[in-house]
Amino acid sequence: MADDASLLRRDPIKSSVGNVAAQRRRRQAVAVGKERRESLVRAKRFCRIGVSGSANGEGDGEGDGDGDVSPDIDMVVDEEQSVLEAQTSSAVEELKAAIAYQGKGAMQKRVSALRELRRLLSKSEFPPVEAALNAGAIPILVQCLSFGSPDEQLLEAAWCLTNIAAGKPEQTKALLPALPMLIAHIGEKSSLPVAEQCAWALGNVAGEGEELRNILLSQGALLPLARMMLPNKGSTVRTAAWALSNLIKGPDSRGATDLIKIDGVLDAIVRHLKKADEELATEIAWVVVYLSALSNFATNLLVKNDVVQLLVERLATSSSLQLLIPVLRGLGNLVAGDTNTTHTLLLPGSEVTDGVVKVVVKCLKSEHRVLKKEAAWVLSNIAAGSVEHKRLIYSSEALPWLIRLVSSAPFDVRKEVAYVLGNLCVGPTEGDARPYLIQEHLVSLVGGGCLSGFIDLVRSADTEAARVGLQFIELVLRGMPNGEGLKLVEREDGIEAMERFQFHENEDLRNMANGLVDKYFGEDYGDDELAG
């Protein structure tokens, strides 16, 4: 922050203005670039337009473009930024004065001052949060949250806090003193807009990190937030769901296990997955993602209540990437987390299973890299089931896609696809014994041309990928009939690829590669060629 300010301050004394100014602009551009990048990937959200039903008119808090706030979101130039900061400092002072004032029209004064501060904190891509904090905004905002205050006042104060918490880690942490009051105002007695705005602020705080999440959980934020998720519709439900997804994401599992046990939550999740609009369903899906990733107890309950089927239906009918990502991942977590799911629910031949495979394949075919990668992951876990599961995938429409993708997709997708294909070629793991080979599948896959993709993985610098590639090559060398495997591997420059490992620093990979070369391409290999 101090750095930013110094970058932005003009230095009138230095000569050769042109050069210095150009350098400063460059540094500023880099700083802004980095800051923008960081802010873009945060799990926090600025509130620019206000919650629906608020004094500012229509529009749910994000991305709507309606309302009287014009998104002033270009890169802020020197003067604008420092002016903004100065205005913010005065706005805080104004607010302090308004609080102190006891006379006629005190409430109106307070709300006006709050509104001014809120406006300053809601425009531009990088609101003057630091200036507000330095001027002492937090204690004064906490005061504005006191019990009995009028709704308008609560709303504006919570809005300010929301945006203060939406930026850098230190800024979010500054909200600590405000947490108890924010939590208090998401109770049932509060008006909906107030509750929603407070939930938003809490969601930003939860999005910061594990430490703050634990504090919020200890202070009892979970229950009231969960209750906000129960009604059928409204932007409040959506905001609460989003805040909850931030709150339970762990890595500690207690948020997730506590949430699923709250009365009405499971029912609400099922209901929303079934009927809600895509925006709400998206946030609910993220709640499911974290529930299924962190809590076996939750996973069991979700599966028992047909959530798998609901997720499948969403995948089948939606084309919104925002929705598809968490739904697919939730499904993936349910499949990955529990042997029961694959064995009892996803019985091969059942309608549910067919449905699952179908929608996952739909994601595999998508043009979005994340969907392709995570779809392949889900398939790899289904393919890690029984022989019937393997047959199911082998004979599905996934197969030609998989064969194509293992050679042509981006690296992270190729690696996941490799797992699917390999899993199709070996039987289920039984104890310590080496799994048996499913030759029919192996021959068909290799015949389809997937070997070169695996050999490419062997050549990559990624240890896991190289290992996967070598393991598949071993299957080919061992399992192809009539020693065909050897010729095929050679033809695809597989020997070359393996010989690279002689001077590779990873001992396991070296041993694997050398072992294969020694065993299959040893002294006698190629003798018949030379003789002929």
Partner 1 sequence: MATMEAEGGGGGGGFPYWTSVRRRFDPDSAFFSSGNVERELLAKQVALDITEDERYQLQNLMDEESRGVFCPIVGCGAHLTSLENFEDHYNARHTASCSVCSRVYPTSRLLSIHVSEAHDSFFQAKVARGFAMNECLVESCGSKFKTYKARQRHLIDKHKFPTSFEFYKKALPSRKQRQKNQRKQVTHKKEVAPSAMEVENEAVDELVSAVSKLSTSDSPTSISFGRRHTRGLPFVPRAIQRERT
Instruction: Give dist(CA 509, CA 500) in Å, integer.
Output: 10
- How far is the C-alpha of 165 from the C-alpha of 141, rounded, in Å? 13
Per CB under 8 A, which of residues 190..229 are in contact with partner 1?
none
Written as six digits, the tokens of 106 are 């005190």
Residues 482-511 interacting with partner 1 (rule: CB under 8 A): 490, 495-496, 499-500, 502-508, 510-511
Beta bridge partners of 336: none
Which one of 41-49, 95-103, 357-365, 393-401 is the stretch in contact with partner 1 (CB under 8 A)?
41-49
**Contact call for residue 515 and partner 1 (CB under 8 A):** yes
CB 420, min distance to partner 1, A: 10
CB 60 within 8 A of CB 235: yes
Q: Which tokens hold the place of 236?
A: 């409040």
Where does this chain touch partner 1 (CB under 8 A) — which range of 258-266, 283-291, 302-310, 352-360?
283-291
With H, G, I as helix, E, B as strand and everything else as coil, classify residue 167.
coil
Selected binder of partner 1 within 126, 159, 286, 401 (CB under 8 A): 286
Among 426, 446, 488, 489, the residue binding partner 1 under the rule CB under 8 A is: 426
Neighbours of 312 (CB within 10 A): 23
- By CB under 8 A, the residues from 68 to 127 that bind partner 1 are 71, 73, 125
Selection from 350, 416, 349 nearest residue 384 by Cα: 416
Peptide bond into 71 cis (omega under 30): no
Taking CB under 8 A as the criterion, the residue among 43, 215, 270, 443 binding partner 1 is: 43
Partners of 426 in beta bridges: 437
Closest CB to partner 1 among 193 and 494? Answer: 494
Residue 377 as a binder of partner 1 (CB under 8 A): the answer is: yes
Contact 58, 66 (CB under 8 A): yes
- The residues with which 437 forms a beta bridge, in sequence order, are 426
| Euclidean distance between CA atoms 410 and 373, whole angstroms | 9
432 binds partner 1 (CB under 8 A): yes
Residue list 447-466, contact with partner 1 (CB under 8 A): 459-464
Instruction: Classify 437 as helix, strand or coil.
Output: strand
Closer of 90 and 340 to partner 1 (Cβ): 340
Cα 477–chain centre separation: 40
Smallest distance from the beta carbon of 248 to partner 1, in angstroms?
9
Name the residue type at position 426: V
Residue 54 φ then ψ, to 5°: -80, 175
Binding to partner 1 in span 146-185, by CB under 8 A: none
Q: Is 265:272 a contact under the CB 8 Å cutoff?
A: no
Residues within window 251-280 making contact with partner 1, judged by CB under 8 A: 251
Residue 348's nearest CA partner among 382, 309, 301, 378 is 382
Place of tokens 């929303």: 272
Interface segment toward partner 1; rule CB under 8 A; list 8-16, 188-196, 356-364, 415-423: 415-423
425: contact with partner 1 by CB under 8 A: yes
- Indicate the residue among 272 and 373 with the shorter CB distance to partner 1: 373
**319 contacts partner 1 (rule: CB under 8 A):** no
By CB under 8 A, residue 408 contacts partner 1? no
| Of 205, 293, 359, 403, the one binding partner 1 by CB under 8 A | 293
- Which C-beta is closer to partner 1: that of 273 or that of 486? 486
